[in-house]
Amino acid sequence: MLATIKKYQHHLYPAALLLASLLSYCTLYGLPNSLFWDENYHIASAQKHLDGVMYMEPHPPLGKMLLALGEAIVNPNADLDKSAFNSTDYITGNQVPEGFSFAGFRLMSVLLMAFSVLFLYGLLHRITRHAFLSAAFTTFIIFDNALVVHSRAAMLEGIQLFFILAAIYYFVRVVTSGQKILLRQYALLGVLIGLAIAVKVNGAILLLLMVMLFAVDQWGNLRRGQWLSIAKRLLVTVPSGSLPVALVFFGIFYLHIGMGTEIVNNRTYKASAEYLNLINSGDTFSFAAFRSGMKDHWRYMVEYADGVPRLDVCKPGENGSHVSNWPLGGKAISYRWSKDTYDGVVKTNYTYLVGNPVVWLSALAGIILSAGLIISRVVYGQPVKDTRLFWWITAFTALYACYMIAMLQIDRVMYLYHYLVPLVFAIINLALVFNYIYRDDLIANSRHTLINLGALVILVIAVFAYFSPLTYSIPITAEQFEMRDWFSIWRMEVVR
Residues in contact with other proteins by CB under 8 A are: 341, 344-346, 358, 437-438, 441, 446-449, 451-452, 455-456, 459, 462-463, 466, 478-479, 482-483, 486, 494, 496
CB of 131 to other proteins, least distance (A): 20
CB of 13 to other proteins, least distance (A): 22
Q: With respect to other proteins, which residue has the nearer C-beta, 21 or 370?
A: 370
Distances (CA, A) of 232 to 119, 146, 207: 33, 45, 20
Q: With respect to other proteins, which residue has the nearer C-beta, 238 or 368?
A: 368
288 and 278 Cβ atoms separated by less than 8 Å: yes
CB of 438 to other proteins, least distance (A): 7
Report the C-alpha dihedral over residues 384, 385, 389, 394, rounded to 10 degrees: -20
CB of 453 to other proteins, least distance (A): 9
Q: With respect to other proteins, which residue has the nearer C-beta, 183 or 483?
A: 483
Q: How many CB atoms lie within 10 A of CB 472?
A: 20
Q: With respect to other proteins, which residue has the nearer C-beta, 323 or 453?
A: 453
Q: With respect to other proteins, which residue has the nearer C-beta, 186 or 464?
A: 464
CB of 363 to other proteins, least distance (A): 14
Which amino acid is it at 20? A
Closest CA to 323 of 414, 411, 412: 414
Residue 411 CA to residue 307 CA, distance in Å, equals: 11
Q: With respect to other proteins, which residue has the nearer C-beta, 323 or 470?
A: 470
Could you write out the DSSP letters of every residue in 104-148?
TTTHHHHHHHHHHHHHHHHHHHHHH--HHHHHHHHHHHHS-HHHH
Q: With respect to other proteins, which residue has the nearer C-beta, 250 or 487?
A: 487
CB of 423 to other proteins, least distance (A): 19
CA angle, 299 as apex, 297 and 300 as ends, to 5°?
A: 65
CB of 336 to other proteins, least distance (A): 19
SS3 473: coil
Residue 213 CA to residue 220 CA, distance in Å, equals: 13
278 and 260 Cβ atoms separated by less than 8 Å: no
Contacts of 337 (CB under 8 A, 6+ apart): 348, 349, 350, 351, 495
Residue 124 CA to residue 381 CA, distance in Å, equals: 28
Contacts of 21 (CB under 8 A, 6+ apart): 114, 115, 117, 142
Q: With respect to other proteins, which residue has the nearer C-beta, 265 or 446?
A: 446
CB of 462 to other proteins, least distance (A): 8
Q: What is the largest CA-CA distance in the chain?
A: 79
Provide Rg for the chain, Cα atoms: 24
Q: With respect to other proteins, which residue has the nearer C-beta, 51 or 441?
A: 441
DSSP state of 179: S
CB of 401 to other proteins, least distance (A): 24
CB of 321 to other proteins, least distance (A): 21
Could you write out the DSSP letters of every residue in 314-366?
TSTT-----GGGGGGTPSPEEEEEEEEEETTEEEEEEEEE---HHHHHHHHHH
Q: With respect to other proteins, which residue has the nearer C-beta, 341 or 409?
A: 341
24 and 143 Cβ atoms separated by less than 8 Å: yes
Return phi, psi of residue 352, to 5°: -125, 130
CB of 158 to other proteins, least distance (A): 28
CB of 475 to other proteins, least distance (A): 14
Q: With respect to other proteins, which residue has the nearer C-beta, 73 or 451?
A: 451
Which amino acid is it at 491? R
Q: With respect to other proteins, which residue has the nearer C-beta, 11 or 496?
A: 496
